[in-house]
Amino acid sequence: MENVFDSVGELSRRLHNREISAVELARGYLERIEAKKNLNAFLDVRPEETLKQAEAADAQLSAGTAGPLTGIPIAHKDIFVTKEWSSTAASRMLKGYMSPFDATVVRQLKSAGMVCLGKLNCDEFAMGSGNENSAFGRVHNPWDINAVPGGSSGGSAAAVAAGLAPIVTGTDTGGSIREPAAFTGVTGVKPTYGRPSRLGMIAFASSLDTAGLLGHSAEDCAAVLGAMVGHDPWDSTSVNMPTEDFTRDLAKPIKGMRIGVPYSWMGEGLDPEVRKSIDEVLDFYRREGAEIVDIELKMARLGVPVYYVVACAEASSNLSRFDGVRYGHRAAEYTDILDMMKRSRDEGFGPEPKRRIMIGTYVLSHGYYDAYYLKAQRVRRLIANEFHDVFKTVDAIALPVTTGTAYDFGTNADPVSAYLSDLYTVPASLAGLPGVAMPCGIHSNGRPIGLQLLGEHFTEARLLQLAAQWQRSTDWHLRHPADC
């Protein structure tokens, strides 16, 4: 299919002008998904279900009752449960599981008329930074198949980068949208915690898990985000505030904005080419009339140890539901119920979930709760307070997503090395802040470079505005892998 990299707005225009039908559009993406199976971005594709939704979209378009997103293809990270596609969290524990309901995010986007292409691969239970932990095989980066696409939303990022879907859902617990976006040259938005519903998201860390989007541009993400967020009375963590038009400020000038940069945190360990690309973005913002302000984020540097205490503790609690009794994998042979639970969990969980369950169980255990978990929660509050103090003087913060570009498979085999790669992403997650990652260059190794923008709670529109202004003046978001 031609024009697989068209924007959401262009696809909408073509559908409403009847230049192409929703069925033709869906079929074109399905053919491309089949042709790019080597990337392993998709876990479940069911053309008959996709085309059924596309036919319903065409009926709305013909009747004149279609909305701006009607007929637009989308794919969902396999952390969101879906009725028509299996929901596995990329784990053997849930292999073949069919949910009786759609996640709220899935249902809202379906109600907007979007057409689901299938379910996307990810790190098992969204635990990982490279998409090397999926029980169903790793996802390959379209820019270099020897490189990771980032995690945990690696299948989501790879699908957009390779033109397998115009926009996709992802989740961000500690950077799982922003890092894959940076590694694959696409745009990712992590909303404020509580803006999108968590109902129907297979839980990893309940106080951190946030649904978001990955697309080619800030404009594409803004066009879809409004249909995705909103209060959900069935989710106790859902913020009771209406949705908004996130496209409203995209074209507005940024003159007068103050952008904070933690320069002292961008020293040792940061790839010089990444630093150069980030400086080019900051120079652009200066030329546009924004003021670049040097800020300090001393507490944020403690984000990694705090995150891996809090997230693992919550994972230990959430994953305890997989016991072989109610649903999920059950061992075929066992002697008693305790043996069944042990064998079921041993067979169903991969190495990374086991590692995090063990860490979480340890920090929650008697004698260690105060020393680790409670202390981590106190430092988490200090990190959040620091961000809120900084946002009293700046409108946004710009900083790297990672210290370098996508790394080769196996490079971060040591779990601690992998955890340390999250140093620039986990602090915002601990504070529940919104963030946007956007491409800002290509490294001499041929792999994309990304930058992230962070804002105070509920300032997604401002971050998308800043990203859109950069993208209106550059073409990094329009560059695609050579073989795509």
For the chain, how many structural domains are there in total? 1
CB atoms within 10 A of CB 236: 10
Kindly state the tokens that stand for 289.
Answer: 């009339």
Contact (Cβ atoms closer than 8 angstroms) between residue 386 and residue 436:
no
pTM assigned to the model = 0.97
Please report which confidence band the pLDDT of residue 183 belongs to, taking 50, 70 and 90 as the band edges. very high
Condensed to tens digits (0 to 9), the pLDDT of residues 407-465 reads 999 998 788 888 888 999 999 999 999 999 999 999 999 999 999 999 999 999 999 99
Domain harbouring 185, CATH code: 3.90.1300.10
Q: Is 429 a catalytic residue?
A: no
What does residue 28 show for φ and ψ, rounded to 5 degrees? Answer: -65, -45
Contact 235, 193 (CB under 8 A): no
Cβ(57)–Cβ(115) under 8 Å?
yes
In a domain, 128, yes or no: yes
Q: In the prediction, which pLDDT does 85 show?
A: 98
Residues 6+ apart with CB under 8 A from 413: none
Let me know: does 357 contact 313? Beta carbons within 8 Å: no
Query: Does residue 443 fall inside a structural domain?
Result: no
In a domain, 151, yes or no: yes
- Render 250-292 in DSSP notation, one character per residue: TTS--TT-EEEE-GGGSSTTS-HHHHHHHHHHHHHHHHTTPEE
- The rounded distance, in Å, linking the Cα atoms of 219 and 232 is 25
Positive or negative, the CA dihedral 208, 213, 216, 221 is negative
pLDDT recorded at residue 4:
86
Residues 49-73 have a mean pLDDT of 98
- Check 21, 86, 129, 176 and give the catalytic one: 176
Supply the pLDDT for residue 268.
74
Query: Helix %, strand %, coil % for the chain, to 5?
Result: 40, 15, 45
CB contact set of 327 (below 8 Å; sequence gap of 6+): 97
- From the list 7, 12, 86, 152, the catalytic residue is 152
Q: pLDDT tier at 1 (50, 70, 90 boundaries)? A: low
What mean pLDDT is reported for the chain? 96
Q: Give the per-residue pLDDT at 2.
A: 67
316 located within any domain: no
pLDDT, average across residues 252-272? 94
What radius of gyration, in Å, describes the C-alpha atoms of the chain?
Answer: 21
Domain-located, residue 1: no
pLDDT classification of 324: cutoffs 50, 70, 90: very high
Rounded average pLDDT over 139-144: 98
> How far is the CA of 333 from the CAs of 92, 107, 337, 459, in angstroms?
17, 38, 11, 53
Q: How confident is the model at residue 325 (pLDDT cuts 50, 70, 90)?
A: very high
The pair phi, psi for residue 434, each rounded to 5°, is -80, 155
Give a yes or no: residue 303 inside a domain: no
168 pLDDT exceeds 80?
yes
Of the candidates 12, 21, 77, 344, the residue annotated as catalytic is 77
Mean pLDDT of 343-347: 97
Tell me the two tokens of residue 235: 């989710």
In three-state secondary structure terms, 120 is strand
> Domain containing 63: what range?
8-256
Please tell me what DSSP assigns to residue 406.
P
Residue 114 · residue 73 · CB < 8 Å = yes
pLDDT value for 380: 98
Displacement of CA 302 from its chain's centroid (Å): 22
Residue 111 is among the residues annotated as catalytic for this protein: no
Could you give the CA distance from residue 326 to residue 366 in angstroms, rounded to a whole number? 28
152 is catalytic: yes
Q: What are phi and psi of 168, to 5 degrees?
A: -145, 160
**449 lies in a domain?**
no
Residue 135 located in a structural domain: yes
Average pLDDT over residues 394-407: 97
Distance CA 70, CA 61 (A): 8
Instruction: Give me the pLDDT at residue 129, please.
Output: 93
Strand ranges in 137-270 using DSSP code E only, listed in sequence order: 167-171, 187-190, 211-215, 258-261
Asked if 276 and 310 touch (Cβ cutoff 8 Å), the reply is: no
